[in-house]
Amino acid sequence: MADRFQPINWITVSGGAVVLLLTCLSFGTLGAVAWRAEAVSNLGPQEWSAVRFTLWQAFLSSLFSVVLAIPVARAFARRQFWGRQALITLLGAPFILPVIVAVLGLIAVFGRTGLVSQFIGLFGFEPVQIYGLHGVVLAHVFFNLPLATRLILQGWLDVPGERFRLAQSLNFGTGDMFRHLEWPMLRRVVPGAFMVIFLICTTSFAVALALGGGPKSTTIELAIYQAFKFDFDLSKAALLALLQFAICGALALISLWISVPGGQGAGLDRVTPRQDGSVWLDGLWIGLAAAFLLVPLAMITARGVGGLTELPGSIWGAALRSVLVATASALLTVALVLPLALLAQSLKAGGRLVEAVGYVSIAASPLVMGTGLFILTFAWIDPVSLALPVTMLVNAAMSLPFALRAVMPGLAQVEADYGRLASSLRMSGWARLRWLVLPRMRRPLAFGAALAGALSMGDLGVIALFANPENQTLPLALYQLMGAYRMEGAFGAALLLLTLSLAMFWLIDRGGRRDVDA
C-alpha cells in the first residue's frame, strides 16, 4: 500500500458523502421531479423537434469548431513570435466568459445593427439575422473554438521535436509532413475534442434562450425550462432530462470507442523551429481567430463604458448577490473536489468509478436539479427564499467536472513523487493532507475554484426559474434589460459582469500562484 494513499477514515467518510451528494443531485432530484408528476406525459412533435435540433446544432457547432481550430492550432504550433503565449492565454477567455455577455457581444458584431450588417449595408445587402440555428451555432463556435484550439495545439506540441527535425532533413514538404506526422496525431486528438464539444453543446441553455429565436430553435435544456416555467409539466421535464442523460451517456461511450491510442513515441523535449508552410497563411489564420474572438469583447467594452450611466439602481444589488453566490460556489467546489479526488486516488478498485461520479453532473440538467431540490423542501421552506442557496449548490455541482479534471492529474503526480516517502515516514491522515497534499495542490485547487467562481458569476440557469426582483443575479438582470430593449443599460451591465467575472477568476487563480513560480 506504499504507492497509494492509505484508506483512512476521514477520506472514506468525506469522499463517500460527496459521492452520495452528487448522486442525489444528479439522480435523486430527477426522481423527485418524476415522483411529483401527476401523469405520464408523452413527448410530442415539439419535444422531438427539440431533440433533433439539439443534435443538429451540436453536430454543426462541434464540426465548425474543430475544423476551424485545426489550421489555427497548426499556425500556433509552427510559428514562434513575440506575445504568442499571451495571445494563446487571451484566446481562452471565452471559456470563462459569461454566456449572456458573449451573446450581447456577438449581437453587437453580427446583429441587425452590428458591425457586419453596417459594413455589408454599404454594398446594398440586407442586415444579418443572428437569431435561429446559425446564431446558436455561431455562439457555440465562439465559446468552443478556443477549447478545440488548445486541445489540438497540445496534440501538436506532444509530437517530439526530433520527428520534425528528421522530416526537415529528409526534405519533407508540407504534404509529406501532414501525411506522416500530423495526420496520425489528428486522428488521435480530433475525435476526443469533437465529442467533448458535442457534449457541451448538447446541454446548452442560455445560448438557445437568447439566440434561439422561436420553437424551431429549441434545445432539450430549453424545452425542460419551458416545461417547468410555462407548462409546469413535471413529467415532460423528467422525460426530457432522462433523454438528455441517455444522449450524453451514449456520447461518452462513443468517445471511448473512437479514441485512437497515441504512437508518436518519446523525445528529448526540445523545441524544433519549423520551416514548412506559409508564414503569411499561418498569420492570417491567427489574425482571423483573434479578431473573431476579441472584437465582440472590444465592442462590449466600448459600448459598455457609456452604458454604465444608464444602469438602474437595482443592478448593484444584483451584482453583489452574484459575487456572493459565485464566492460561495467556488468555496463549495473546493470542499467537494478535494475529498472526492482523495477518495478516488486512495482506492485500488473502484477509484475510476468514484471519479466518474464526479463527471456525471455535466450530463445532468441544472434546471431539473434546482426544481427537484425545491420539490423536496417546499413543504418546510419558501422556494423563493432558497433561490440563491440552490443556485450556489447547483453551480458548484456543474463546475465540479472541470475542477476534478484540473485536480486529479496533479494529485496523481504528488503521490507518484512523494507517496512512498510519506508512507515510509508513517505520514497519514491530516498530517499527510496538511504537509504533503495541500502545499503541492494549491495551484490546481485555486484554478478549479477560480473556474467555478467565474462560471457561477455568469450562470443563467436555476435563477431564471425561481428568482424574483428582490433576489435576481446580475446575469438575469442583464437578460431582462435585453428583453426590454434597453440596450445601452444592457451593455453597461455586460461590462460590469465581464469585469467582475474576470476579476474573480484572476484573484482566486493568482491566490493559488502566490509565492509559487508561474
Whole-number Å distance between alpha carbons of 469 and 354 = 40
Collapsed DSSP state (helix, strand, coil) of residue 92: coil
CA distances, 499 to each of 98, 454, 457, 503 (Å): 10, 10, 11, 6
Please tell me the total number of residues recorded for the chain in this structure.
518
**The cell 507517496 sits on which residue?**
419
Residues 6+ apart with CB under 8 A from 151: 69, 189, 192, 193, 196
Whole-number Å distance between alpha carbons of 42 and 342 = 43
The residue among 315, 320, 301 whose CA lies nearest residue 481 is 315
Name which residue leads in pLDDT, 426 or 153: 153
Burial of 60 (0-12, 13-18, 19+ CB in 10 A): middle
Share of the chain above pLDDT 70, in %: 84
DSSP letter string over 116-169? Answer: HHHHHHTTTPPPP--SSHHHHHHHHHHHHHHHHHHHHHHHHHHS-HHHHHHHHH
The answer to whether 267 touches 163, Cβ cutoff 8 Å, is yes
Query: Residue 2's pLDDT band (boundaries 50, 70, 90)?
Result: very low
Give the DSSP H/E element, type plus range, for residue 195: helix 183-202
Whole-number Å distance between alpha carbons of 511 and 518 = 12
Which three three-digit cell numbers place residue 242?
432522462
Whole-number Å distance between alpha carbons of 513 and 68 = 33
Collapsed DSSP state (helix, strand, coil) of residue 280: helix
Per residue, the 3-state secondary structure of 199-245, as one string, reads: HHHHCCCHHHHHHCCCHHHCCHHHHHHHHHHHHCCHHHHHHHHHHHH
Give φ, ψ of 173 to 5 degrees: -85, 180
Percent helix, strand and coil across the chain, each to the nearest 5: 80, 0, 20
pLDDT of 241 above 80:
yes
pLDDT at position 5, please? 47
Q: Which of the residue ranges 180-194, 237-251, 481-495 would you say has the lowest mean pLDDT?
A: 180-194
- Distance from chain centroid for Cα 172: 39
The residue among 152, 253, 235, 134 whose CA lies nearest residue 199 is 253
- Write down all domains in the chain, each with its CATH number in brackets: 1-36+309-518 (1.10.3720.10), 51-298 (1.10.3720.10)
- Note the pTM of the prediction, 2 decimals: 0.79
pLDDT of 207 above 60:
yes
The answer to whether 71 touches 449, Cβ cutoff 8 Å, is no
pLDDT 10s digits, 287-297: 999 899 889 98
Whole-number Å distance between alpha carbons of 17 and 336 = 9
The residue among 94, 98, 122, 119 whose CA lies nearest residue 109 is 119
pLDDT of 275 above 70:
no
pLDDT at position 496, please? 92
Residues 6+ apart with CB under 8 A from 210: 99, 100, 103, 479, 482
Whole-number Å distance between alpha carbons of 328 and 50 = 34
CA distances, 178 to each of 70, 79, 185, 192, 384 (Å): 12, 16, 10, 20, 58
pLDDT 10s digits, 419-466: 677 777 777 667 777 777 777 788 888 888 888 898 888 888 778 777
pLDDT 10s digits, 349-383: 677 788 888 888 877 888 888 888 888 887 677 76
pLDDT of 211 above 90:
no
pLDDT of 109 above 80:
yes
Whole-number Å distance between alpha carbons of 489 and 306 = 9
DSSP letter string over 401-467? Answer: HHHHHHHHHHHHHHHHHHHHHHHHTT--HHHHIIIIIHHHHHHHHHHHHHHHHHHHHT--SHHHHH-
